[in-house]
Every structure is written in C-alpha cells, then in structure tokens.
Amino acid sequence: MTTKKKPNILLLGIDSLRADHMSLYGYQRLTTPHIDKFAQGGAVFLKHFSPSIPTTPGYASMMTGMDCFGTDVVALRHEGPMADHVSTLAEVLGQHGYGTTCIGFSGNPSSRGFHCYIDYEGWLPDESGRAPKADNLNDVAIPELKRMAAQDEPFFLFLRHMDPHSPYLPPRPFERIFYDGNETDAKNHSLDPMYAFKPFADYLSSWIPEGCKDSNYVDAQYDGAIAYMDACIQNIFATVDSLGIADQTLIIVTADHGETLFEHECYYDHHGMYENTLTVPLIIRFPEKVPAGFRHTGYTQIKDIMPTILDLAEIESKIRFDGRSLAPLFKGMDREPEPEFYITECTWMRKHGWRTPEWKLIHALEPDFHFKPNIELYNLIKDPLELHNVAQDEPEIVAMLEARMQAHIAKREHETKRTNPMYTNLNWSGLGVGPFETSQQAYDSLYIGSARGARKLQDKSK
C-alpha cells in the first residue's frame, strides 16, 4: 500500500506589501490583476495583520507561528540567531520528509532550517537604472521550482519578493502606468519635507530621480512595482500549472508588513505602527481543502500562518503555537476572534501599543527621530487615516488601553517565563548608543546613506 504524498508548499512572502494598495483589497488602481484572478480559486483574509514590524520580527512570526513574546524577536537588527526554543516551519517540514529551499532571505535569523538557500539581486538597479527584482527572482526560482517538482519528496519553496520595498524602481513601462504628470514641476513642493529629513534624505535621493518634486510620482512607483511584480508572479503560477502540480500544491501569498508612502512623516519606509504598516494580504489556495471564493472578514494575524500550513498538510506537531490554524474555517467551523492585540516596532523607533477595532494606542519607549509625542491615540472608526492624535482629549481611553496592554504583557511574560523583548532589546538600532534620551539624539544618530547600506541592515552575513 502506498502512502499519499504530502502536498507541496509554495509560500510567497512579499516584503513591504500593504493590502490597501492591492486591487484585490479594493484599491482603485489595478495593481494586482493576476493575483486577483488567482485568489478567486482560494481564500482571502480581509483583516489580516502583522502586529510586530518590521521584516525580522514579521518573518519570525510567519515562520514559527509565535508572537513576539514567543520568538523573542522584535528588532530589524536582531542580535544573534533566533533562539532555539522555537522551531521554524522549514525545520518542521524538513523533519517530515520535505525538501526545503529559501530564495532571497539567507542571512536573516528568521530563515533558519532550510536545506538550500539561493539569493538574487533584490535591491539595486541594473544598467538601465531600473530594478527588475521579480525577474531576477524568477530567473532562479523557476528552475528551482522545476527541480523540486521533479523529486519524489514533497517540497517547501519560500520566495521573498522585494519589489514593494524601496527603492521603488519598476522597469518600463510600469514606472509610468499610474502616473502621467510632470514630476519635475518647479511649482510642486510636496517632497520638500522629505528632502529636509536628514536621516533618510540621502538614501531616498539616491534612487528618486534627480529633480523630482512630486510625491504622487513616488507613490506611483510603489504601485508600479506591485503591478510589475504581479505580472512576474503570474509566471510562477503558470509554471505550477504547466508542471501539473496545481492540485497538489498549497500556495500562500502574504507579506511581512506593509509600507508607508508619503504619510505620517515616515517617508517611503515601514515604521510608525499606523494601519498602512500593520495590514497585509493573506491568500491561501489549495483546491483539495480550501474552497474557491472563500472570504473571511474576521481578524487574523501572521502568527496563524504556520499552524494553518501544518494543518492543511496534515502534519501533526507538538508545538503549542501562539497562532491558530485557519483551516477549520474552510469547513464552516467557528473561530473565536482576536479583535484586540499588542503591536510593536523596532525599526527606526522603539514603540509598542494596543489596537482594538475602534482605538489604537501608540506608546513610545524612548524618544523618536520624528519628534512625535510620547503617546498617540487614534479613533480608527472616525479617523481611519490616523491623522488626528486625540490622546490629550481622551485620557480615560488612554488609561484603559494602557491597562489592557500591560495586562497582556504580564500574562505573556508569565506564560513564556521571559521578559518582554521590547524591554530587553535596547540595542535595537545596532548603533550601541541607545536608548535614545532625546529625539534630537535619535535624529542625529539614525541614517541610511544608500540602497547598499539599507540592504546591509537586513543581512548580517554580507
């Protein structure tokens, strides 16, 4: 008697993709037509969150099924490897007979446990001055996909797409499919504040065209990069179809965090804990077990991905995940919602907070380089763009949310027997100068000079 082969698993982790700039999620520009069509055959989660930003803690949660207390990872520049008290998805699948390959994420502590690592150029432009990141990925990913599909063992292939991550340099014609203005119009001064922001000015000027004055142009580059990537991802979907493995392959499309464009003074990066960084897509397609056209409006989080994958692949684990499998939803079963949760960031600022369906509290643990107030409070129903800080107007709400946050911290510290990593990661900046005592000190200390410098921050092996 032969044993049924486990499903193949193809996980697309798209760096810096905010859900609200995908046409799949209602965006007015047609940025993701191929993903939109692909999603018709599976499940789409409409309120999916990555509560601990940026990349390193986001992927740590995705790859372990744990929250930041469970992984002990909160900082972009995480010190040391990810602790061995957690098992990664690659490790678990490898133990169950899977061949595992990671593309575009070697050198990051969250990528532990793959059999094979392949890199590609996902940051810098080519001789044309544009950056065909997704084509570069396909050049190595599609041959590897074909190689793995030809093996007797099931495979787990993880692809880290980089197109929505700055620098936004989509190849022609995608750089102008959403923009037909004059980005050098001398009367336009919308980018003046960005050019005056010393920590980022040199980095942004290194890839934004010289003389560009229009923030709408740069926003359109982000959207163009998504559309370009979407077209290249269709090539991957077509390869899966041509190999005849679509029915045996569980495919997940998601992101580690979102992105801030010309909003909140964060300037084309992913920090601030506003909705644009926390809300990300989640699409799951597996014809055998995931019904086509499924749409879930309840709250889900990035920590739910690993337990869902193992559940759908019928792989039992003794791991006590912080996340919960979404697979029962596909059978019509109820799932207790998790509508309020802890949020953290250690990118360029060290902050944490508490989010409910109505309110968001942001509490700075040290002064930030934007000179923002220590406490921010937003009413997400009345002010969904988070433009009006009402902390001084609503002290009772601040106190209530702070109490709920502290109670959650105490509970998770007790459960994990470890101190909140937001309190212990004091060298989150990697500069050895923190915690910052003043916003001016942070402003003078934090600096990105180039795309090479930005890449180095995320890859300690290079």
pLDDT category at 450 given cuts 50, 70, 90 is: low
pLDDT category at 1 given cuts 50, 70, 90 is: very low
Is the CB of residue 252 less than 8 Å from the CB of residue 4? no
More confident residue, 101 or 334: 101
- The one-character DSSP state at 23 is G
pLDDT value at 461 more than 80: no
CA gap 31, 48 in Å, rounded: 19
Q: What rounded mean pLDDT belongs to the chain?
A: 94
Give the position of tokens 């059978």: 331
pLDDT category at 459 given cuts 50, 70, 90 is: low
In 10 A of CB 328, how many CB atoms? 13
Q: For 143, phi and psi rounded to 5 degrees?
A: -60, -40
Candidate CATH numbers 3.40.50.720, 3.40.140.10, 3.30.700.30, 3.30.1120.10; the one for domain 341-458? 3.30.1120.10
Task: Check residue 433 and give its pLDDT.
Answer: 84
Q: With 0-12 CB in 10 A as exposed, 13-18 as middle and 19+ as buried, what is 80? A: exposed
Nearest in space to 299 (alpha carbons), one of 50, 3, 20, 40: 50
Task: Check residue 452 and give its pLDDT.
Answer: 58
Question: Tens digits of per-residue pLDDT, 358-417?
Answer: 999 999 999 999 999 999 999 999 999 999 999 999 999 999 999 999 999 999 999 999
Q: How many residues does the chain have?
A: 462
pLDDT category at 123 given cuts 50, 70, 90 is: confident
pLDDT category at 27 given cuts 50, 70, 90 is: very high
pLDDT value at 458 more than 90: no
Task: Check residue 135 and give its pLDDT.
Answer: 97
Question: Tens digits of per-residue pLDDT, 163-172?
Answer: 999 999 999 9
pLDDT category at 132 given cuts 50, 70, 90 is: very high
Mean pLDDT of 57-68: 97
Domain segments of the chain as ranges: 8-331, 341-458
**β 359-364/375-379 pair status:** antiparallel
pLDDT value at 355 more than 50: yes
Task: Check residue 457 and give its pLDDT.
Answer: 53
Q: Which residues contact 315 (CB under 8 A, 6 or more apart)?
A: 6, 92, 93, 96
According to CATH, the superfamily of the domain at 8-331 is Alkaline Phosphatase, subunit A (3.40.720.10)
Task: Check residue 31 and give its pLDDT.
Answer: 98
pLDDT value at 275 more than 90: yes
Task: Check residue 81 and give its pLDDT.
Answer: 83
pLDDT category at 454 given cuts 50, 70, 90 is: low
pLDDT value at 449 more than 80: no
